[in-house]
Structure 1
Amino acid sequence: MSASHRQIPGVNAERTRSHNRQMVLGSVRAAGAIGRAEIARASGLSTQAVSNIIADMLADGMLREHGRRTGGRGLPVQQYAINPSGGYGLGIEIRPNAVFSALIDLTGTTKHSHRTELTNNEPKTVLAEVAEHKFRALQDTGVRETSVLGAGVVMPGPFGATGIQNSGSDLPGWQDIDPQGLLEGALHLPVFVENDANASAMAERISGVAQGLETFAFLYFGQGLGLGLLQGGRLVSGAFGNAGEIGHIPVIAQGVPVALESCVSRLSVQAHLSAHGIDARDMDDLSRLYAQSAPPLLEWLDTAVQPFSAAIGIIENLFDPQVVILGGAMPDAVLDHLIDAVRLPDRSVSNRADRRQPRLMRGTSGRMTATLGAAALVLNQAFTPMIAASR
């Protein structure tokens, strides 16, 4: 079960303290540099409470003094900013054929990344590989284990035994086990488990094009096609962590109802190219083919427009996002082509005159999107209050 959809217990003193720290840290991150009184106004906390929290976080190393701001009456005001080395998030992405990892600091800057091939994706093999990735990240950066706030781990859904298993984009053998417990045992860290689309959405919020956005959708191209949703800065995971399995919804393609990811996904483009005798194993192959205007790839793009346009309309009308973002393991040029070719529906709640963002845009995190998103899950826990604020 993913961390984001656990039941939140009643508020007690320790949870209130944690919540207030999240409020202060989130205010500092949003502002870049900010004084105590401004934090108090932004968070609804008293100035004395803010002062106590800042003192604690200065001692912890999560905040640093950032000079004084002059202007107006009175003495210059002390400013505070995030200390990049005050904490780290470890991100692990488990794919059917590989493990990726990234270590990011509190500002979202990548300090280390690594990739290894998997000989098999049985839990025992994967857990050993994950532990090795953590060891390598700490060894290569010199970061102390006590400075790592936790590990975000992403893997393709669905989670649990469902009616859409064995689609070619899931992780066989993991449906009937507790991945969080096993991963915490291997990593000796708090672990947040999410699907790759949700984690990718979080990466865009922490360090990508969705910075400053609270409610948006992220259409993730992995092997299949997933959808990450953020509402008010928090992930929408569903009852069992499987919200956003949009690749399995039926759409019309060339007059026939089909599953969306059968015509709009990495799996579908690779299958189409394979039928024309072209082996496209990775993003570099797809980039090369697009640069060459390879007819089979352009043909696939043409056939993808209708179902892709329908999917955007479904996302907009169901979730009313500020924007729909495309990203993941698909070349930028291919995603830009889809954005240019899409027929955005007029009958959509997103078709409005007062928009501040385009309805559709490309993300910036590239092929490491889900891995960085896994690490961003950890930072989001530090920056985003998980209980309602008391005003």
Structure 2
Amino acid sequence: MLQAIRVSGEASRSNLAAITGLTAPTIANIAKRLLDAGLIREAGRRQGPRGQPASQLVINPAGGFSIGINIDRDHITIVSLDLAGSVLTRATLEAAFAMPDVVAGWLRRQIEVIRASKLIDERRMLGVGVAMPDDLGRVTLPHRPSAYESWNDVDVQAMVEGIVPWPVHIDNDAAAAAIGEAQFGSGMVLSSFFYVLVSAGLGGGLVIDGNYFRGAGARSGEIGFMPDMTRRAGRQTVQETVSLSALYARLHAGGCEIDTVEALTREDATVALIVERWIEDAAQSLIEPLIAVSCLVDPGAVLIGGRLPATLVDALVKRLNVMLADSRLPSPARVVRATMSNDAPAIGAAILPFLDHILPSEAILMQVGHTSGGD
């Protein structure tokens, strides 16, 4: 029932009975327990078609809090969330291939800042989620120092548990981003989608009928390791073209010393030309994997998110949709920009404690507001 209230925004007890199929007395009992627990609150009344105005129930933002951390090869981000999904605090460290001791020290300082802000009620703190790429120190990317392999020997769970007094949840960054999108983004209207995360590397996440699908080895969605059928410049995998690391390397080769996402959209003719050519190459590398996803999974949409600036995502989306239309597939999944910000992995990480304690572990139990394809 809590999920139905969250997805609906607000709902009366009679609405909840219709949505869930539960009886009115059962709804009343559950509502009382949720109210007593502080997870929901009354939000005034709305006039119905007949009778007295119905009391509306909404999520109580102060009902729970969490922290989300995204550890990646080009940055570290930390956010804190309330139960309504609002971001209360945010901080980012822009650092290429930051070593474990640097990350741990920075996180320790940021946790102190969050606690000192008094924006979260620690009595209702549910935990900390950490989103990071699989094989963080193993995957070879441009300019990666050999010392970065030290991450292979780090127990990240233990590292974070040594910094915070709350439960810690670890997940893949693309999985966290997809889960966040399912809970607070496009998943409000799409029950099935494939999420493409463009970050220092390239990842993916698959949501089917509202549930995040992990696969037999919990490695589903690894679109970055799929073969690049263009074989452009000897590149073997899609990630070697479609990633921020690859884009930065191309810019450096063209004489542009750029290594931040903000600089990608600055007014510079050389930068603009290199980025434009990269978008075309990225679309060429992505199109075959996305055709495979469309044919094999039939998602409602392919969502593209991550740290790439929105204008560049939109350009990539536009080119991919043209190419999909030209592919003559009977019903290709449309490509759209993900609704969540470039902090999607961190926000998704912050949602992990909610899923464990409050929200359904199976992402969407009731298809409230969902359609198979969504609009």
Structure-2 residue corresponding to 1:324? 302
Change (3 A) 1:289 1:380: farther
Q: Say if 2:201 and 2:245, in contact at 8 Å, map to a contact too.
A: yes
| TM-score, normalised with respect to structure 2 | 0.84
Q: Say if 1:290 and 1:333, in contact at 8 Å, map to a contact too.
A: no
The 2-side partners of 1:109 and 1:82 are apart by: 12
Which stretch of structure 1 is more off in the superposition, 222-231 or 295-304?
A: 295-304
Q: What are the ranges of 5 or more consecutive residues in structure 2 without an aligned counterpart?
A: 367-375
Q: 1:195 aligns with which of 172, 178, 181?
A: 172
Q: Say if 1:321 and 1:350, in contact at 8 Å, map to a contact too.
A: no
Which stretch of structure 1 is more off in the superposition, 140-149 or 284-293?
A: 284-293
Note the C-alpha offset of 1:123: 4.4
Kindly report the root-mean-square deviation, in angstroms, between the aligned alpha carbons of the 2 structures.
3.0
Change (3 A) 1:188 1:239: farther
Deviations 1:151-171 (A, max 9, x none): 221011237x9xxx3323997
Q: 1:90 aligns with which of 67, 72, 90?
A: 67
The 2-side partners of 1:389 and 1:306 are apart by: 37
Matched, 1:167 2:147: no
Code of the aligned partner of 2:360? T
Structure-2 residue corresponding to 1:297? 275
Deviations 1:165-214 (A, max 9, x none): 33239974444555335434532222221111122223333333443222
Task: Write the mapping of 1:48-87 to structure 2, written as runs, cut at 5 A.
Answer: 48-87=25-64
Matched, 1:146 2:123: yes
The 1-side partners of 2:231 and 2:363 are apart by: 47
Structure-2 residue corresponding to 1:334? 312
Code of the aligned partner of 1:238? G
The 2-side partners of 1:389 and 1:30 are apart by: 11
Note the C-alpha offset of 1:349: 6.3
Which stretch of structure 1 is more off in the superposition, 170-179 or 253-262?
A: 170-179
Task: Write the mapping of 1:238-257 to structure 2, written as runs, cut at 5 A.
Answer: 238-253=215-230
SS of the residue 2:18 aligns to: helix
SS of the residue 1:252 aligns to: coil
SS of the residue 1:187 aligns to: coil
Q: Say if 2:3 and 2:364, in contact at 8 Å, map to a contact too.
A: no
SS of the residue 1:201 aligns to: helix
Structure-1 residue corresponding to 2:334? 359
Structure-2 residue corresponding to 1:344? 324
Matched, 1:384 2:364: no
Q: Say if 1:92 and 1:100, in contact at 8 Å, map to a contact too.
A: yes
SS of the residue 2:116 aligns to: helix
Change (3 A) 1:43 1:173: farther
Q: 1:309 aligns with which of 287, 300, 307?
A: 287
- Identity score, percent: 29
Structure-1 residue corresponding to 2:197? 220
The 2-side partners of 1:293 and 1:126 are apart by: 30
SS of the residue 1:42 aligns to: helix
Code of the aligned partner of 1:138? R
Q: Say if 1:229 and 1:236, in contact at 8 Å, map to a contact too.
A: yes
Q: Say if 1:215 and 1:232, in contact at 8 Å, map to a contact too.
A: yes
| TM-score, normalised with respect to structure 1 | 0.81
The 2-side partners of 1:330 and 1:375 are apart by: 21
Deviations 1:242-271 (A, max 9, x none): 222211110222666720011111111111
Structure-1 residue corresponding to 2:370? none
Question: How many equivalent pairs are there?
Answer: 357
Change (3 A) 1:190 1:76: same
Matched, 1:259 2:234: no
Q: Say if 2:69 and 2:78, in contact at 8 Å, map to a contact too.
A: yes
Change (3 A) 1:271 1:37: same
Q: 1:157 aligns with which of 121, 131, 134?
A: 134
Q: Say if 1:98 and 1:117, in contact at 8 Å, map to a contact too.
A: yes
Change (3 A) 1:292 1:61: farther
Q: What are the ranges of 5 or more consecutive residues in structure 1 without an aligned counterpart?
A: 1-23, 352-357
Code of the aligned partner of 2:224? G
Deviations 1:124-166 (A, max 9, x none): 553443343233213214322122222221011237x9xxx33
Note the C-alpha offset of 1:28: 0.7
The 1-side partners of 2:335 and 2:54 are apart by: 41
Code of the aligned partner of 1:370? P
